[in-house]
Chains A and B, each alone.
Chain A
Amino acid sequence: MREFKSLQFVALFKGLFKRMGVDYEVMMMILRIKLTMDERRVPTVFNEIGKKKEGNQFLKSLWIYGVYSLLLLPFLFIGDNYIFGMSIQFGIILFILMTSMISDFSSVLLDVRDKNVLQTKPIAKKTITVAKTVHILIYMSFVTGAFTALPFVVGIFRHGPVFSLIFLLEIILTMFLVVVLTSLLYLFVLRYFDGERLKDIINYVQIGLSVGLIIGYQVLIRAFEFTDISLSYTFHWWHFLIPPLWYGAPFEMILNGNTGSHMVAFTVLAVLVPILAIFIYSRLMPSFERNLEKLLSDTKARKPSRNLMDGLWSKLLCRSPEERVFFRFSALMMKKEREFKLKTFPNLAMALIFPLLFIFNELRIRSLADISEGNMFLFIYFCNILIPGTIVMLQFSGGYKGGWIFKAAPVVRETAAYSAAIKAFLVKLYFPIFLVVGIVFLGIFSARILPDLAVVLLSAILQSLIMYRILKDIDFPFTRSFEFAQNAGTAQVILMSFIIVVFVGLHFIARSFDYGIYIYLALLAATIFVLWRKTFPENRKFEYNKTAIDA
């Protein structure tokens, strides 16, 4: 086993851990094992050789956070109004860290598997929980580092060393805040529920949190009045509830000398809340581990859930019985696979909210009647943003080991599995969102946009198809471990998200001449028809054999 650099860093805090009453040596041992395991995660679905990926997959995916951090840079250059720029920056940082924490590290926090290994040994509970927390903190600091390194360096040049010092301190505070707050939230949920119900609730809390963060970000923006070009800030009592403002305040206070009482109060909150949270957390963590046990138990008899609609859709959309089976299976998985929901539902919520939000924002400048004349309905293309990421996610499942069934069963047309999964995705996840946004838009823009909506829908289908085609070595849906979802197809997802712009462009061109939209609609339909046939070919060779055996 090799020595990890990250552990050498942790070792600097040896005294602190000892004072906390943690068995330092044991904690380091657990961490070393965990980090080694993280490095060795290898896909083992069908025990295929030659497809192994070496090294820590998570660390290799960090570059994407570096790309995201470009988003922060503009806010460093919008004058010396720190409360605005820095609050937004910390809003984004909190958002990114929180989503990463929820979607990538909840499983570490809620891991019950190593209970048997660790808790049966003579180790204090405290040591185990601290080891768990440090394990998460190591990764979170990587994420935080990757995301804030660039703004940090730019910040030194733009605003000087004092700025950077505050920035650095606040980053550390926010990181702790995120990790501890998430844990406390789970702790609270774990206290009152048990078994499968609990897992569902945690799942929805996670999804809700992600969505809440997006909406919270909008609220943050509202805290500022965009009057003319200059930004002014007026304090209201409810601003105390918006953490990003706490973190914007110290900059304003120290660098601009703004010592208004609310600024000082914000700063105190920024420092005090994380420390207080850590204190509560360390007190409650042992009971957290105890309650984790509940995740394993479930004894209640349950009623069957009805899936009449799934059956109907499968008959309508799939021709072969085989494809229908896969359709119903995929629909079930999308409904029941918690990890899948966790990774995709926040995107669904965004796809639902964003188009409406743009209209709402526009309402502050123009009247509804005015908007309804224009081309604003094209914002419905924002719904399609969920497509690339979700198509990628279709490969994964928490129960990926069950994937042997696809190989063991007499599946004649292997591509039917994916064509069904994509159909199920479009029907079960995409369409409901499209429908809601579509109906609202029809209300605003009247029935004149019906052909346009049809174009958007077909673009969505085409985009899903292209996305599937450019993904490499796909086997069956739901047969890979989520451990590899981190960096799966990131490049393709970004590429395919940009392709939406192309679709919007084509749409514009089509609208620019008479009946163009109808021609475009027909072209899209034809392309989908041909491409779908090409992507999911029939397996005529063995279709005959199959009936022979039946007879």
Chain B
Amino acid sequence: MESSKDIILSIQNLTMSYGEKNVLNGINLEVAKGQIIGYIGPNGAGKSTTVKIMLGLIDDYEGKIVIFGQDISNGDPSYKRKIGYVPENAEAYDNLTAMEYLVFTGELYGLDSKFAQQQAERLLTQFELEKVRHTRLSSFSKGMKQKVLIISSLLHDPDLLFWDEPLSGLDANSMMVIQEILSQLAAEGKTIFYSSHIMDLVEKISNRIVLLVVGKVVADGSFEELQEKSEEGSLSGIFNQLTGFTEHRQKAAQFVSIVRGDSGDA
């Protein structure tokens, strides 16, 4: 492992199937320290599944995953200590208050409860949530809850972040803050692995973009590298091209004509 000291995460030949259906078809990926990886792909490409496998939420996969030099299939959960995770759909124990939830998750990651409390309080204040910190999460809006989950993923100062759609539900201002937090964390040497459907954002903040289509990596490189390969100007253009989707205008026209009640194919 000496030669690859900077490799934080490596995935070799990862496949996964739900019954008959193959969700992942041989993914290979090496991630070095300090990278911000935008993990993109159409709905159902297997993005969330990959992330869940790396976190140990799903364990009947095939292939090899090494994180922080440890094969995660050996059953030792200690590699998770330095990982922060934001799940998609803001799932949390809703009946706890923001503080209770944060202190609980902090402690799960081995933090001292006083310290977790302090950090949580300070971070909540930064997001202007200090007034509702003793209110149950169930009464939070999606954006507020998302902020709490983002804090909970950072409380233990992890080295590797998995953020699944971290910006969903956030307003434009909060998005900018999160975006800035991401790049500053990467500058500190943290590795960030996040998935999003907002292409402009991925284009702006990722220094590496991995595009997944039906469980396979079809593009992997910086935005500039992808641009060179595909002659498209924007990431959404590249995305359309690589996912083999070029007829959006035609699709839209058809759609609208059906809405308007035309019978023939437009």
**Residue ranges of A at the interface with B (Cβ–Cβ < 8 Å):** 46-47, 49, 195-196, 296-298, 300-305, 311, 321-322, 325, 328-329, 332-333, 336-338, 397-399, 401-402, 404-412, 478, 541-542, 545-546, 548-550
B51 to chain A, nearest CB (A): 10
Q: Which of B58, B75, B96, B107 contacts A542 (CB 8 A)?
A: B75
CA distance A360 to B94 in the complex (A): 43
Flag if A325 contacts B108 (CB, 8 Å).
yes
A contact residues around B97 at 8 Å (CB): 302, 304
Query: A304 and B108: CB pair below 8 A?
Result: no
- Determine if B77 and A411 form an interchain contact, defined as CB atoms under 8 angstroms apart: yes
Query: Is the CB of B61 closer than 8 A to any CB of chain A?
Result: no
Closest to B70 in A: A545
Bitwise, B92-113 to A at CB < 8 A (1) or not (0) is: 1111110110001101111001
C-alpha spacing A401/B138, complex, angstroms: 13
User: Is B132 touching A304 in the complex (CB atoms < 8 A)?
Assistant: no
**Contact between chains at B80 and A409 (CB < 8 Å):** yes
A196: which of B56, B77, B105, B135 is its contact (CB, 8 Å)?
A: B135
Q: Does B175 contact A (CB under 8 A)?
A: no
Q: Find chain A residues with CB under 8 A from B77 CB.
A: 409-412, 542
Q: Quick check: which of B83-91, B180-188, B208-216 contacts chain A, the rest being far away? A: B83-91
Contact (A336, B57) CB under 8 Å given A409-B109, A542-B76: no
**Cβ-neighbour of B78 out of A303, A399, A546 (below 8 A):** A546
B96 near A336 with CB under 8 A, answer yes
Contact A409 B96 (CB under 8 A): no
- Given the known interface contacts A410-B80, A542-B76, the answer about A196 and B57 at a Cβ–Cβ threshold of 8 Å is no
A49 contacts B19, C-beta separation under 8 Å: yes
Q: Is the CB of B57 within 8 A of A321?
A: no
A46 contacts B57, CB within 8 Å?
yes
Check B92–A298 contact: CB distance below 8 A: no
B64 at the interface (CB under 8 A from A): no
Q: How far is A406 from B18 in the complex, measured between Cα atoms in Å?
A: 22
Q: What secondary structure prevails in chain B residues at the interface with A?
A: mixed
Give 17 CB contacts A-B under 8 Å.
A49-B19, A196-B136, A298-B135, A301-B134, A303-B134, A304-B134, A305-B134, A321-B107, A322-B108, A325-B107, A332-B104, A337-B95, A399-B93, A402-B94, A409-B77, A549-B81, A550-B110
Using Cβ atoms and an 8 Å threshold, which residues of chain A touch B89? 401
Interface of A, helix, strand, loop or mixed by DSSP:
helix
Q: How many Å from the CB of A300 to the closest CB on chain B?
A: 8
Q: Hey, what's the 0/1 contact readout for B119-161 against A, CB within 8 Å counting as 1?
A: 0000000000001111111110000000000000000000000
Closest 7 CB pairs of A and B: A298-B139, A410-B80, A402-B93, A401-B91, A409-B108, A325-B107, A399-B93
What distance in Å separates the Cβ of B176 from its nearest Cβ neighbour in chain A? 26
Residues of B within 8 A of A478 (CB): 93
- How many A-B contacts at CB < 8 Å in the complex? 124
Is B55 interfacial (CB 8 A cutoff)? yes
CA separation between A401 and B88, bound complex, in Å? 11
Question: Judging by beta carbons under 8 Å apart, are B80 and A338 in contact?
Answer: no
A397–B93 CB distance below 8 A = yes
Chain A nearest CB: distance from B164 CB in Å? 10
Residue among A322, A328, A405 with max Cβ neighbours from chain B (10 Å): A405
* Most chain B CB neighbours (cut-off 10 Å) among A302, A303, A337, A406: A302
A303 partner residues in chain B, CB cutoff 8 A: 134
Given contacts A402-B94, A410-B81, contact A321 B110 (CB under 8 A): yes
Asked whether, in the complex, the Cβ of B131 is within 8 Å of the Cβ of A301, the reply is yes
Whole-angstrom distance between the Cβ of A131 and the nearest chain B Cβ: 25
Judge whether A301 and B92 touch: CB under 8 Å: no
A27 to chain B, nearest CB (A): 28
Given contacts A302-B97, A408-B85, A411-B108, contact A49 B135 (CB under 8 A): no
Contacting pair B83 A408 (CB below 8 A): yes
Closest to A311 in B: B113
Closest approach, in angstroms, between the C-beta of B90 and any C-beta of chain A? 9
User: With A328-B104, A546-B78 in contact, is A404–B87 under 8 Å at CB?
Assistant: yes
Once the chains bind, are B55 and A408 in contact (CB under 8 Å)? yes
Residue in contact with B57 in the complex, picked from A49, A404, A549, CB distance below 8 Å? A404
Shortest distance from the beta carbon of B156 to any chain A beta carbon, whole Å: 9
Which of A300, A332, A407, A541 meets B96, CB within 8 Å? A332
Contacts of B110 in A (CB 8 A): 321, 410, 550
CB proximity of B132 to chain A, nearest CB, Å = 7
Q: How far is the CB of B100 from chain A (nearest CB, A)?
A: 6
Contact of B91 among A332, A404, A412, A550 (CB under 8 A): A404
Q: Which residue of chain B lies nearest to A329 when distances are taken between CB atoms in the complex?
A: B104
A195 near B139 with CB under 8 A, answer: yes
- Complex-state Cα separation, A401 to B145, whole angstroms: 14
B57:A298 contact, CB within 8 angstroms? no
Nearest-Cβ distance from residue A318 to partner chain B, whole angstroms: 12
Closest beta carbon of chain A to B159's beta carbon, Å: 11
Within 8 A of A (CB), among B33-84: 52, 55-58, 75-83
A47-B58, A301-B135 known; 8 other A-B pairs, CB under 8 Å?
A: A296-B139, A301-B131, A311-B113, A338-B95, A399-B96, A401-B91, A408-B85, A545-B78
Most buried by B among A311, A336, A337: A336
Could you say which residues of chain A place their CB within 8 Å of the CB of B85? Answer: 404, 408
Closest chain A residue, CB of each to CB of B54? A408
A302 cross-chain contacts in B, Cβ below 8 A: 97, 134-135
Given A46-B58, A325-B108, also A298-B136 (CB < 8 A)? yes
A427→B80 CA distance, assembly (Å): 31
Residue of A46, A321, A399, A407 near B95 (CB, 8 A) is: A399
Is B99's CB under 8 angstroms from A304's CB? yes
What is the CB-to-nearest-CB distance from A360 to chain B, in angstroms, rounded to a whole number?
Answer: 37
A548 and B91 alpha carbons, distance in the complex (Å): 32
Q: Which residues does chain B contribute within 8 Å of A322, judged by CB atoms? A: 108
Residues of chain B lying within 8 A (CB to CB) of residue A300? 135
- Give the distance to chain A from B45, nearest Cβ to Cβ, in Å: 16
Cβ-neighbour of B56 out of A296, A305, A311, A407 (below 8 A): A407
Chain B residue at smallest Cβ distance from A414: B77
Distance in Å: Cβ of A545 to nearest Cβ of chain B: 5
> Is B134 touching A408 in the complex (CB atoms < 8 A)?
no
Q: Are B92 and A399 in contact (CB under 8 A)?
A: yes
